[in-house]
């Protein structure tokens, strides 16, 4: 299954209305009962089922009737919602070739009306770390907002917030343009990931720039945590740009020292192997910072004057809170522990195989222009706030008592209708769970470390 943006053009207002209804239902359901979709979408002339069939045909939703008749969004469905929102905002107007398949993302070129090419990163949290996430299911079971949409959206928001903050502090990162759902739009970085570079004119300079960036990050209170040859871009003038921020942690993280040393080790190892650099000879070289160098020339975490909280204001301005960071850290920490040295690791979770197949075979036509009708932006779904609006996704339903109440009522009715006559049906998202959910989440928040 490819990301055929052509399909986007042929999707009607009703298609998007129903797709959005599935998305809204997923705030409380892993699989959204058909009845609930119908009630949220409130199509004027009915026909939700016909629309669902069309969405299914285009693999925008997945049908599941194992427990009851319902649907969930696929990655592609979620992609389409984000892409449509961003196109309607005028951020870009066409999608081009795929730039990269990361561990937890797909990156595409997108083009603006004026021809400027940008990069679009679609987060796929769960592709690799799904096992880690899965192992936390006990913790997550009572959380109505648990699913890959939530995690991917949080990762995207984090990446966007960090990119913006780092840019404002003079770091060489892509320019953050916009963010919606699991999708981040940023400037296109010229050049290639360092892993593809076989030769450098000035490996010493590049090396020092990179190690200097690791140190400066720590001085700003941050550790990249995945700082390696896959996440460093280098252009023809050997200018270095760092990318990929969803896993960053604070220098006050309990494992900060380990993450810092690991980032440094990755760079040393790579430069030694790829560019035959010998670090013993560099013993007396200064890298320009005030950090002391030990006998093998490495910056020491303990010697860095770390200023945590440096970027707080900027991050908060993008809507990414400490709570979000704590949440994300908690959920992906298993993945962080794992040393990551390859961007094309296998996946390997049956549950997501279908979606993974979808995204791995993505093959996009060159710069398809989407020409979406602007009017589509204004549609209303049920009585809920317009999910296409700015700020959508930034608010969980539990933060909106009205929405939660209305969804709960609809859910109860829908489940009753959908399961009339079915015995022993137990949803993961019944009312009983709700108390558990909030008590569980507040308990967890209290335990979480700052960043």
121 binds, among ligand ADP, Mg ion, none (CB under 5 to 8 A by kind): ligand ADP
104 binds, among ligand ADP, Mg ion, none (CB under 5 to 8 A by kind): ligand ADP
To 10 degrees, what angle do helices 34-41 and 13-25 make?
120
Residues that bind ligand ADP (CB under 6 A): 99-100, 102-105, 107, 119, 121, 174, 186, 188-189, 193, 230-231, 243-244, 343
221 binds, among ligand ADP, Mg ion, none (CB under 5 to 8 A by kind): none
What is the closest distance, in whole angstroms, from the C-beta atom of residue 174 to ligand ADP in the complex?
4
Q: Which is nearer to ligand ADP, 33 or 102 (CB)?
A: 102
State whether residue 274 is helix, strand or coil: helix
What values do phi and psi take at 36, rounded to 5?
-65, -40
Q: For residue 342, give Cα distances in angstroms to 242, 243, 259, 283.
A: 16, 15, 17, 29
Would residue 204 show up in a list of annotated catalytic residues for this protein? Answer: no
Q: Which is nearer to Mg ion, 155 or 311 (CB)?
A: 155
Q: Which is nearer to Mg ion, 7 or 101 (CB)?
A: 101
Q: Which is nearer to ligand ADP, 267 or 291 (CB)?
A: 267
To 10 degrees, what angle do helices 75-88 and 353-360 make?
50
267 binds, among ligand ADP, Mg ion, none (CB under 5 to 8 A by kind): none
Q: What's the rounded Cα separation, in Å, for the pair 122 and 130?
A: 16
State whether residue 97 is helix, strand or coil: strand
What is the closest distance, in whole angstroms, from the C-beta atom of residue 83 to ligand ADP in the complex?
17
What is the closest distance, in whole angstroms, from the C-beta atom of residue 342 to Mg ion in the complex?
10
What is the closest distance, in whole angstroms, from the C-beta atom of residue 362 to ligand ADP in the complex?
13
SS3 content of the chain, % helix, strand, coil (to 5): 45, 15, 40
Q: What's the rounded Cα separation, in Å, for the pair 379 and 12?
A: 11
Marked catalytic residue, from 79, 178, 226, 324: 226
H or E stretch including 356?
helix 353-360
Q: What's the rounded Cα separation, in Å, for the pair 395 and 388?
A: 13
Q: Which is nearer to Mg ion, 146 or 230 (CB)?
A: 230
Which pair of tokens denotes residue 10? 């042929």
415 binds, among Mg ion, ligand ADP, none (CB under 5 to 8 A by kind): none
Residues that bind Mg ion (CB under 5 A): 102, 230-231, 244
Catalytic residue numbers, as ranges: 226
């Amino acid at each position: 299954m490819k990301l055929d943006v052509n399909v986007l053009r042929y999707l009607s207002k009703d298609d998007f209305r129903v797709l959005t209804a599935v998305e809204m239902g997923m705030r409380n359901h892993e699989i959204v009962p058909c009845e609930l979709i119908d009630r949220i979408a409130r199509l004027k002339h009915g026909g939700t089922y016909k629309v669902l069939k069309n969405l299914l045909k285009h693999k925008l939703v997945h049908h599941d009737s194992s427990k009851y008749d319902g649907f969930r969004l696929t990655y592609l469905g979620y992609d389409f919602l984000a892409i449509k929102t961003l196109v309607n905002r005028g951020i870009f107007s066409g999608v081009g070739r795929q730039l990269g398949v990361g561990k937890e993302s797909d990156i595409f070129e997108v083009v603006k009306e004026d021809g400027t090419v940008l990069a679009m990163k679609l987060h796929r949290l769960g592709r690799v770390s799904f096992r880690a996430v899965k192992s936390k299911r006990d913790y997550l079971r009572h959380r109505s907002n648990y699913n890959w949409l939530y995690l991917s959206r949080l990762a995207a928001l984090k990446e966007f917030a960090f990119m913006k903050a780092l840019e404002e502090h003079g770091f060489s990162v892509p320019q953050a343009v916009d963010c919606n759902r699991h999708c981040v739009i940023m400037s296109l970085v010229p050049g290639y990931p360092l892993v593809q570079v076989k030769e450098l004119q000035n490996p010493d300079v590049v090396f020092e720039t990179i190690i200097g960036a690791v140190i400066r990050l720590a001085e700003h209170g941050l550790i990249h945590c995945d700082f390696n040859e896959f996440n460093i871009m280098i252009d023809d003038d050997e200018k270095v740009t760092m990318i990929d921020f969803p896993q960053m942690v604070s220098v006050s993280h309990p494992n900060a020292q380990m993450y810092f040393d690991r980032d440094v080790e990755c760079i040393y190892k790579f430069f030694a192997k790829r560019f035959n650099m010998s670090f013993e000879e560099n013993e007396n070289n200064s890298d320009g910072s005030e950090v002391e160098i030990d006998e093998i020339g490495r910056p020491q975490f303990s010697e860095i004057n770390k200023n945590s909280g440096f970027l707080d204001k900027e991050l908060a301005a993008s809507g990414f809170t400490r709570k979000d960071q704590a949440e994300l850290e908690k959920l992906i920490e298993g993945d962080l522990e794992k040393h990551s040295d390859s961007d094309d690791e296998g996946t390997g979770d049956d549950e997501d195989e279908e979606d993974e197949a979808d995204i791995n075979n993505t093959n996009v036509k060159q710069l398809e222009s989407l020409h979406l009708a602007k009017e589509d932006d204004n549609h209303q779904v049920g009585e809920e706030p317009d999910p296409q609006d700015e700020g959508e996704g930034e608010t969980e339903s539990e933060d909106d008592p009205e929405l939660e109440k209305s969804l709960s009522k609809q859910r109860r009715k829908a489940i009753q209708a959908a399961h009339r006559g079915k015995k022993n049906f137990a949803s993961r998202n019944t009312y009983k769970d709700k108390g558990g959910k909030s008590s569980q989440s507040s308990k967890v928040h209290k335990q979480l470390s700052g960043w």
